Amino acid sequence: MAGVDAVTAGVDTAAAIVVLGQGSLETARRIQAALPAGSRVYGLSGRVEGADVTYDGFGETVTGLHRDGVPVVALCASGIIIRTLAPLLQNKRAEPPVLAVAEDGSAVVPLLGGLQGVNGLARRIAEALGVAPAITTTGDVRFNVTLEAPPNGYVARDPGASKAFMSDLLGGATVRLEGHAPWLAQSRLPFTPGGERCIRVTPDDRAPEDGTLVFHPKTVVVGVVGGGEDLPDRVTAALAAAGLARAAVACVLAPEADAPSAGLRRLETDDGWPVRFVSASADPAVLVATAVPEAERDRPVWLTGAVAIAVARAPEAVRPVGHARGHLSVVGLGPGSPDLLAPAAREALRCADHWIGYETYIRMAERMVGMPRPEQAVHATDNREELDRARHALSLAAVGARVAVISSGDPGIFAMAAAVMEALHDAADPAWQGIDLDMVPGITAAQAAAARVGAPLGHDFCILSLSDNLKPFDVILDRLDHAARADLAMALYNPVSKARPWQLGQALDRLRTIRGPETPVVLARDVARPDEAVRVTTLGAVRPEDADMRTVILVGSSATQTFPRPIDGGTWVYSPRWYGR
Ligand code: SAH
């Protein structure tokens, strides 16, 4: 447990310090030393050497960081950054801090993010640089505090009330402080014991009288054992019985084995409480003791029944203990180019603590999204160990990690999603069922290849893998046979490899016994990658040596058409929407 006594909000988030020229690197490093661990210096490529991260476009980089909620300290004219971010500004409650700092460190200007602690950041940076911050927020200037944005560990009971309250104080009203909050006590608010107004800091759920502003400190920890559908109702009842405000809950603690409980999940999603897992106990009182030592605890509230609940109250705001629910994303990279990567996939890669995948796909992801960051662990493994890789990913997520398992194309097509499902289905550890698991789809090779030549898969089609690693070759031939007889267009994956040199020839021969030699065939190699090569031919002409393991082969149906593409001498291919024979 650690008490939270930051004087202003937002100051414990790692920031990006963005520099445009070599001359400001030294100032940037001094700023970095004053900011939270994990803050990094971004240097413009070609201009700045020795930065932590090199970027290409200033505008894209800063807007990307801003969108991701990262505080930005830009060593440039404030006008540049204002112009860059102006089109994005929408929600003052959610916007992260943005500051401009003069290249030589002589001026520190908080620009945006007043409700996310920009003034606190400005003070910290200015102190490190030995200058006065250019703070313009009236209440902050006079009283050294932003009531609208209490620091982490405190929430306003009525966020809308603080603005008018501050206006009254600026107008000369006096105020008294009830309860314990270092950030208020250390401010310059005109506190006097008999003040007309009152700022009360309390976890109690009591409506304030007029002229009183209430902040709830996050001092309440709820321990729950046994999960259960009705958990949200029971926790609500327990808090009501204790007279404690919902907003004062710092965290709900539960045993890891309860992670699959739907009621527990709803406490996170519907009630918005951080749920934290600890590897121990079946006793809720022991659970809360991990966050709130017994000596500091008010009398716990007990509710017996299927779900055991303990509620404890610490004297100070508590930080959550244990670990959060783990998250596993099985991410499809698409065929290879960054513009065919889904934003959701990019986001999953950005958020992950661990990247797991076949080495080739890890390298591909690195090229596509310019990551991983130094704090992201990379586990590159050999392609054949799919189930082991899936279990490794699940075991990391079960103890709270955010994990991305990486596949090319779509993860559900001859890739990792099925392996993760299989590992989860067989899981011995119940905590695995409590992992927040999602599949992030990608554009599969067949779609990417089809798009290059028109619409060869415009009607019914099937996708087949010619790999006999995991299924007998007889089955492959039999399926090709049926697909050809059903007159489906086909996308053939894994057509050939060093270990399987002869299978493709047999497969094509089998198709030729059913489909005519004029049937259009597309050979698409490395689609959406630098060495892309796409060729249109026919079933009569195609040879096994025309394909390798980086090729996907599309075979038309009897209705598939081709016609010339004069603009580049190529050929259009399509399967019409109608069907008639
Ligand atoms: N999950 C992947 C497929 C993995 S199987 C997807 O959805 O695309 C591997 C096979 O996919 C390769 O042998 C090849 O046939 C095909 N493939 C994958 N990416 C490709 C690309 N960019 N160009 C051509 N074929 C590709």
Residue % of the chain over a pLDDT of 90? 64
- Of 493, 527, 548, which is best to mutate to test ligand 1, by the most ligand atoms within 8 angstroms of its C-beta? 493
pLDDT band at 7 (very low <50, low <70, confident <90, very high): very low
Can you give the pTM of this predicted structure?
0.79
Instruction: Please tell me the residue having the least CA distance from ligand 1 atom 4.
Output: 414
Q: Is 270 exposed, middle or buried (0-12, 13-18, 19+ CB in 10 A)?
A: exposed
Q: What is the pLDDT of residue 523?
A: 98
- Of all atoms in ligand 1, which is nearest to the CA of residue 467? 13
Residue spans of the domains in the chain: they are 16-136, 154-215, 220-323, 326-443, 446-574
Phi, psi of 549 (to 5 degrees): -70, -10
pLDDT tens, position by position, 485-536: 999 999 999 999 888 888 899 999 999 999 999 999 999 999 999 999 999 9
CB of 526 sitting under 6 A from ligand 1: yes
Separation between Cα atoms, residue 547 and residue 389, nearest integer Å: 29
Q: Which residues pair with 312 in a beta bridge?
A: 221
Query: How far is C-alpha 580 from the chain's CA centre?
Result: 48
- Provide the 8-state DSSP code for 191: B
CB of 103 sitting under 6 A from ligand 1: no
For ligand 1, the distance from its centroid to the CA atom of residue 473, given in whole angstroms, is 19
Indicate the fold that domain 220-323 takes in CATH: Nucleotidyltransferase; domain 5 (3.30.420)
Which token pair is 547? 């394909």
CB of 463 sitting under 6 A from ligand 1: no
Q: Is the pLDDT of residue 384 over 80?
A: no
Contact indicator for 100, 111 with CB cutoff of 8 Å? yes
Which token pair is 176? 């008294």
For ligand 1, the distance from its centroid to the CA atom of residue 389, given in whole angstroms, is 19
For ligand 1, the distance from its centroid to the CA atom of residue 445, given in whole angstroms, is 5
- Of 552, 553, 554, 555, which is best to mutate to test ligand 1, by the most ligand atoms within 8 angstroms of its C-beta? 552
Cα separations in angstroms, 402 against 256, 270, 323: 16, 21, 11
pLDDT tens, position by position, 454-472: 999 999 999 999 987 778 8
Q: Which range, 20-29, 66-75, 326-335, is most confident?
A: 326-335
CATH class of 326-443: alpha beta
- Which CATH architecture describes the domain 16-136? 3-Layer(aba) Sandwich (3.40)
- Which of residues 560 and 6 earns the better pLDDT score? 560
Separation between Cα atoms, residue 371 and residue 352, nearest integer Å: 11
Contact indicator for 336, 328 with CB cutoff of 8 Å? no
Contact indicator for 84, 59 with CB cutoff of 8 Å? yes
- Which CATH architecture describes the domain 446-574? 2-Layer Sandwich (3.30)
Mean pLDDT, rounded, of the chain: 89
- Provide the 8-state DSSP code for 150: P
